[in-house]
Structure 1
Amino acid sequence: MKKVRKAIIPAAGFGTRMLPATKAIPKEMITLIDKPVIQYAVEEAVSSGIETIVLITSKHKKSIEDHFDKNFELEEILKKGGKEKELEKILELANCCEIVSIRQKEQRGLGDAVYCAKNIIGDEPFAVILPDDVMLSKEPVIGQLIECYNKVEKSVVALQEVQMEDVSKYGIVSVKEKIEERLFLLDDMVEKPKENPPSTYAIIGRYVLDSNVMKNIGEITPGALGEIQLTDAIKKEAISSKVFGYLFKGERYDCGNVNGYLDAIINFALERDDLRDYLVQIIKNKFL
């Protein structure tokens, strides 16, 4: 069985839910405390053993590429200023793993964005990490999925149970069989069902996929608005082979909208020893 060594991080969208902040700044570069949102996705991948990350960007996203590149002038300034901790952080960022950038020339759906990386992925299994979904967990979520993939040797998608009134916001899976406490064999998935959802398990932005899924993307027909959906390629794999869903351990925050972003700031700050007491004191002074 081939090792999961590569991850795709799609980052070509306009980020309209976060306007006006995203008018000139990529949504993935909005700062969550002291790091841009996309850095959390990269760090999650690296801590899960990923060796190569493929960033799918667009012509307005050069700052993402620059963020993970070397900056010799800044490094020299930090050296001369004796700012060793700051220097260590940016050197670690530039050397964390191999990062490749590919431009999606037209926004034709998530499936199309993933397909842009087909030549780099080749015939290997691969991870997909949607950077809007920022995870707070002791064990990296994509690492949890890789562990499942190594066990079942089939595609695995991350699941989260949602309220019935929220199912129309997500891709919802149909469970064929419960394999373990958190692991399910799937037989179908429905994108944003308006009624009669097959379950309350939603697909969240983490995937570990067999190379056949990449082949499926190249064969599926574009849907509404000419978009190619990753979900359709995974459904095809569920029919021809097997696809599993894993109810991941951890908390997910949708940083693609203001409410989720604010929620993430508070919860990530509360997890940090250097910020927790300060945040609690701010809240006490304001409301108590």
Structure 2
Amino acid sequence: MSIKPLRKAVFPVGGLGTRFLPATKAMPKEMLPVVDRPLIQYAVDEAIEAGIEQMIFVTGRGKHAIEDHFDIAYELESTMSGRGKSLQVLDATRLKPGRVAYVRQQEPMGLGHAVWCARDIVGDEPFAVLLADDFMVGQPGCLKQMVEAYNKVGGNLICAQEVADDQTDKYGVITPGMRDGTLTEVKGLVEKPKAGTAPSNLAVIGRYVLQPEVMRILETQEAGAGGEIQLTDAMARMIGNQPFHGVTFQGVRYDCGDKAGFLQANLATALAREDVGPAVRAFAQDLLA
């Protein structure tokens, strides 16, 4: 079996971020910071660690801050240099020419539609999809774990995580087949099943490795759950035609699309850092006391 290398990643960042209003009225939700780096920066760093060469951002109105973040800020860098300050802190934000592309999703028609908007840039290659809302902490990173599995089995892969039975109606859920370590054969996918009807408690989390054929399915995909074009529905139609596996992530996931999850991510990240951890830990202990 010939496995094409994974070189491209799609970042759907066109959402409105209504759950974080008013903070996201003028700022993309993907730019919300976990300590001192925006969510989208963590996702891009994860992709780079996994060997991704081209980042494709599917944006919407009001998302210019994301483009500016990954551009060179000449005035800022000139001022910092003039004051003798190191520019190293900005290194991760300066993507090399040709490594980034932007495409506009004019209407918020769902994740499947957002991915489909990148079809011409993806071309006839496998690609990854990363949702910045899912803040993944692991060594190695989530996407690298998935790429290592992809290089062995090929086909399509999704990140899987066990969730509580009363939470399955919030996710796409896997119908599992054979299991081999962290790999689970995917026999079927159900988007947000009604309570008590989920085929397992293995939920689909916001990391995917997909073959380009999914774009042709999305071309004619009808709206599904929530009246949106669901990526899960398109992936389900590929099962049986190509290898399809779930990769159970070895690490911790924080749901930063949720206010409590976002605050937990900030606290956990701060506590793990040498520069701010001791002060935050002391404050937290005093507060809880």
Answer whether TM exceeds 0.5 for this pair. Answer: yes
CA contact (8 A) 1:162 1:200 kept: yes
1:177: how far off? 1.5
| 2:240 maps to 1:239 | yes
| 2:199 maps to 1:192 | no
Alignment match, 1:156:
157
Unaligned segments of structure 1, at least 5 residues: none
CA contact (8 A) 1:133 1:252 kept: yes
Alignment match, 1:88:
88
Alignment match, 1:108:
109
Alignment match, 1:62:
64
Q: Distance in 1 between matches of 2:222 and 2:5?
A: 30
Q: Distance in 1 between matches of 2:193 and 2:222?
A: 20
1:225: how far off? 5.8
CA contact (8 A) 2:174 2:203 kept: yes
Q: Distance in 2 between matches of 1:219 and 1:173?
A: 23
Alignment match, 2:26:
24
Alignment match, 1:275:
276
1:19: how far off? 1.2
| 2:257 maps to 1:256 | yes
CA contact (8 A) 1:70 1:91 kept: no
Q: Which amino acid aligns with 1:201?
A: L
Superposed counterparts of 1:207-218, under 5 Å: 207-218=208-219
Unaligned segments of structure 2, at least 5 residues: none
Alignment match, 2:131:
130
1:38: how far off? 0.8
CA contact (8 A) 1:234 1:243 kept: no
Q: Distance in 1 between matches of 2:257 and 2:224?
A: 23
Q: Distance in 1 between matches of 2:171 and 2:181?
A: 22
Q: Which amino acid aligns with 1:200?
A: N
1:173: how far off? 0.6
RMSD over equivalenced CA pairs, Å: 1.3
Query: Relative to structure 2, which stretch is displaced further, 278-287 or 147-156?
Result: 278-287
Alignment match, 2:37:
35
Count of paired positions: 285
- Inter-CA distance 229–89: structure 2 relative to 1 (3 Å threshold): same
CA contact (8 A) 2:8 2:56 kept: yes
TM-score (norm 1): 0.95
Q: Distance in 1 between matches of 2:89 and 2:10?
A: 23
SS in 1 for 2:102: strand
Identity across matched positions, percent: 42
CA contact (8 A) 1:253 1:263 kept: yes
SS in 1 for 2:166: helix
SS in 2 for 1:2: coil
SS in 1 for 2:217: helix
Q: Deviations over 1:179-208 (max 9, x none)?
A: x11101111111111122100000000001
More helix by share: 1
Alignment match, 1:51:
53
Q: Which amino acid aligns with 1:101?
A: Y
SS in 1 for 2:23: coil
1:218: how far off? 1.4
Q: Deviations over 1:157-195 (max 9, x none)?
A: 0000001111111111101221x1110111111111112
TM-score (norm 2): 0.95
Alignment match, 2:146:
145
